[in-house]
Amino acid sequence: MKKIISFLILSIFFATALTAQLDRSQRPKPGPAPAIELGEFETFTMDNGMTVIVVEDRQVPVISFQLTVDRDPVLEGDAKGYTEFAGRLMREGTESRSKQEIDEAIDFIGANLSTHSTGMFASSLKRHKDKLVELMADILMNPTFPEEELERRLNQKRTELRQTETSGRSIRNNISRAVVYGDQHPYGEITTQETLDNITVDHLKEYYQTYFKPNISYMVIVGDIDKEGAKDVMEEYFAQWEEGEVPSHEYPTPQPPENNKVAFGERSGASQSSVHVTYPVVLTPGHEDAIKASVMNSILGGGVFSGRLMQNLREDKGYTYGARSSLSTDPIVSRFHAGAEVRNEVTDSTVTEILYEMERLINEPVKENELELIQNFMTGQFARSLERPRTIANYAMNIKRYNLPEDYYATYLERLNAVTSEEVHQMAQKYLKPENSYIVVAGNKDEVPKTLEKFSHTGEVKFYDAFGRPDVPAEITEVPDGVTIETVLDDYYEAIGGKENFERIEDMTQVMKTYMQGQEITITQYQKAPNLLKVETAMGNNVVSTQLFDGNKAVVKSMMGKEEFTEGEQFEQIKLQAIMNRELNYKDYGFKKNLKGIEQIDGKEAYKVEVISPQDEKSIEYYDVESGYKIKVKAPESTAKYSNYSTTTIKFEKEDESFFGRLFGRTTEKKAELKFPHKIEQQVQQQILEMETVEIKINSGLTEDDFKME
Query: What span, in angstroms and rounded, lies between the C-alpha atoms of 604 and 707?
Result: 40
pLDDT digits (tens, 9 = 90+) for 534-573: 999 999 888 999 999 998 999 999 888 889 988 888 888 8
- Indicate whether 76 pLDDT > 60: yes
User: Looking at per-residue confidence, does 650 or 216 come out higher?
Assistant: 216
The answer to whether the CB of 82 falls within 8 A of the CB of 196 is no
Query: What span, in angstroms and rounded, lies between the C-alpha atoms of 260 and 457?
Result: 6
Strands (E), 517-629: 519-528, 532-539, 542-549, 554-558, 561-565, 592-601, 604-612, 618-624
* 473 cis-preceded (ω within 30 degrees of 0): no
Treating both helix axes as pointing N-terminal to C-terminal, what angle do 421-431 and 347-363 enclose, rounded to 10 degrees? 130
Query: What span, in angstroms and rounded, lies between the C-alpha atoms of 710 and 705?
Result: 10
pLDDT level of residue 303 (50, 70, 90 thresholds):
confident
Q: What is the pLDDT of residue 635?
A: 82
User: Looking at per-residue confidence, does 113 or 567 come out higher?
Assistant: 113
User: Looking at per-residue confidence, does 582 or 219 come out higher?
Assistant: 219
Q: What is the pLDDT of residue 39?
A: 55
Q: For residues 133-149, give the mean pLDDT.
A: 97
Q: Nearest 5 degrees, angle CA 350-CA 269-CA 353? A: 0
* Furthest C-alpha separation in the chain: 121
Integer angstrom CA distances of residue 184 from 58, 169, 339, 392: 47, 23, 25, 35
- Indicate whether 27 pLDDT > 80: no
Residues 216-228 as b/e (b if ≥16 CB within 10 A, e otherwise) read bbbbbbbbbbebe
Q: What is the pLDDT of residue 685?
A: 62
Q: In sequence order, what are the residues at sequence separation of 6 or more whose Cβ sits closer than 8 angstroms to the Cβ of residue 412?
A: 36, 291, 382
Q: What is the pLDDT of residue 60?
A: 85
% residues pLDDT > 90 (the chain): 71
Q: What is the pLDDT of residue 6?
A: 32
The answer to whether the CB of 65 falls within 8 A of the CB of 133 is yes
User: How many of the other CB atoms lie within 10 Å of CB of 511?
Assistant: 16
In 3D space, the residue among 470, 451, 455 whose CA is nearest the CA of residue 277 turns out to be: 455
> Radius of gyration of the chain from Cα atoms?
32
pLDDT digits (tens, 9 = 90+) for 461-495: 999 999 999 988 778 889 999 999 999 999 999 99
Query: What span, in angstroms and rounded, lies between the C-alpha atoms of 583 and 402?
Result: 66
Q: For residues 328-333, give the mean pLDDT.
A: 94
Return the minimum-mean-pLDDT range out of 232-246, 598-612, 634-648.
634-648
pLDDT level of residue 36 (50, 70, 90 thresholds):
low
Q: For residues 119-127, give the mean pLDDT.
A: 95
Q: What is the pLDDT of residue 31?
A: 53
Query: What span, in angstroms and rounded, lies between the C-alpha atoms of 421 and 436?
Result: 24
End-to-end CA distance of the chain: 76
Q: For residues 110-118, give the mean pLDDT.
A: 96
DSSP-assigned states of every residue in 261-324: EEEEEE-TT-SEEEEEEEEEE---TT-TTHHHHHHHHHHHTSS-TTSHHHIIIIIIS---S-EE
Q: Nearest 5 degrees, angle CA 516-CA 520-CA 524? A: 105
Query: What span, in angstroms and rounded, lies between the C-alpha atoms of 521 and 538?
Result: 6
pLDDT digits (tens, 9 = 90+) for 161-208: 988 888 899 999 999 999 999 999 999 999 999 999 999 999 999 999
pLDDT level of residue 686 (50, 70, 90 thresholds):
low
Q: For residues 653-674, give the mean pLDDT.
A: 65
Kindly report the average pLDDT of the chain as a whole number: 89
No. of helices (H) and no. of strands (E), the chain: 20, 26
The answer to whether the CB of 307 falls within 8 A of the CB of 324 is yes
- Indicate whether 414 pLDDT > 80: yes
pLDDT digits (tens, 9 = 90+) for 359-369: 999 999 999 99
- Indicate whether 19 pLDDT > 60: no
Q: What is the pLDDT of residue 407?
A: 87
- Phi, psi of 269, deg, nearest 5: 70, 10
Q: How far is CA 593 from the centre of its chain?
A: 35
Q: Which domains does the chain have, with CATH numbers?
A: 46-168+179-238 (3.30.830.10), 261-387+402-464 (3.30.830.10), 485-707 (2.50.20)
Q: What is the pLDDT of residue 666?
A: 61
- Indicate whether 694 pLDDT > 80: yes
- Indicate whether 623 pLDDT > 50: yes
Q: For residues 29-43, give the mean pLDDT.
A: 62
- Indicate whether 3 pLDDT > 50: no
